[in-house]
Amino acid sequence: MKDLSRRFAISGIAIPLVVCLLVFALHPLVQYLALLVVGILACVAGWEYEQLAKTKGGYVKTSFFTAFVFLEVVSFFIYAKDGSLANLPWVSLFFSFLCFFVLHFKNKEGSIVDLAVSTFGLIYIAVPMGMLLSILYFQGGQDGRWWIAYLLIVTKIADIGAYFAGNLFGKKKLAPQISPGKTVEGAVFGLVCAVFASFIFYVLAKNGEIGNFSLSLISSLVLGGVLGLLGPLGDLSESLLKRDANKKDSNRLPGLGGILDLMDSLLFTIPIIYFYLYVY
């Protein structure tokens, strides 16, 4: 737990900023600020991913890749504001995919690896980050700000629960070759924390203490369980990429490591909330 003080310090700064952004998220100007913030985070995460890929021989054309990442985020934002443009994010993704091919027409060396790395980067990072904005500005009769709060709290409380339980009681390693610090006991306790946090949201919504937020008992238990399972999976998946690239952190930001390190579990849980709202 030697890095606990730094985590608390960063959280003490990040949490008030996130709360402030959510409170004023519906203001016309703040909407574009939210788009800019999420877009920048996605681009930085994309750059960090690019650095990992380079260590394994994958080459991403940085300027184009960053532009396509931002384009994907913008397309989800536009869809959130205009529901008739439901296919825009997928058209944008396909357009980027085609452009990656065109960019390699002059130099065929390493094309297979480069195309795979670039396309995977968009799916892994840009699509979930764009979905975050579609959740925030959900137009289906519920307040997307509460769904963002639900997503962040349930996902992160599972992380926190797993972290403390793993350090205090963990004995059996979950995936020692990928993340030696994670334990089965921590993962189980994190899952319980996620389900409990989700249940609390159900109780608050049922009692009318959360406006424009609806969550049934069954949905709260199922969603809490799914987020509690996929959050650690997202964490381990990013750790897999870092270990293969022989990197401890995705970046060197003080107290954070990198944006990918900060977002790893959310990249797997964001799509669950998105599909629950837009498909289910």
Q: 15-29, 218-232, 239-253, 256-270 — which is least confidently predicted?
A: 239-253
Mutual orientation of helices 111-121 and 62-81 as an angle, nearest 10°? 30
Would you state the structure tokens that stand for residue 7, as one six-digit string?
Answer: 């985590």
Highest-scoring range by mean pLDDT, 103-107, 179-183, 209-213, 275-279 = 275-279
pLDDT score recorded for residue 3: 58
pTM of the model: 0.93
pLDDT band at 162 (very low <50, low <70, confident <90, very high): very high
All structural domains of the chain with their residue ranges: 26-136, 142-280
pLDDT cut 70: percent of the chain above it? 94
Sign of CA dihedral 123, 148, 150, 257: positive
pLDDT tens per residue across span 111-149: 898 899 999 999 999 999 999 999 999 998 899 999 999
Would you state the structure tokens that stand for residue 168, as one six-digit string?
Answer: 């205090």
DSSP code for 257:
B
pLDDT score recorded for residue 5: 61
Q: How far is CA 65 from the centre of its chain?
A: 18
CA dist., res. 110 & res. 261, Å (int): 28
The pLDDT of 211-240, averaged and rounded, is: 95
Q: Which of 52, 186, 59, 165 is nearest to 111 (CA)?
A: 59
The pLDDT of 24-51, averaged and rounded, is: 95
Are the beta carbons of 190 and 228 closer than 8 angstroms? Answer: yes
How is 184-227 classified by DSSP, letter by letter? HHHHHHHHHHHHHHHHHHHHHHHTT-STT----HHHHHHHHHHH
DSSP code for 247:
-
pLDDT score recorded for residue 59: 79
pLDDT score recorded for residue 140: 86
Question: CA-CA distances (angstroms) from residue 262 to 102, 178, 253, 255, 259?
Answer: 33, 17, 11, 10, 5
pLDDT at 176 over 80: yes
pLDDT cut 90: percent of the chain above it? 71
pLDDT at 272 over 80: yes
pLDDT score recorded for residue 14: 79
CA dist., res. 49 & res. 70, Å (int): 15
pLDDT score recorded for residue 170: 82
pLDDT score recorded for residue 8: 63
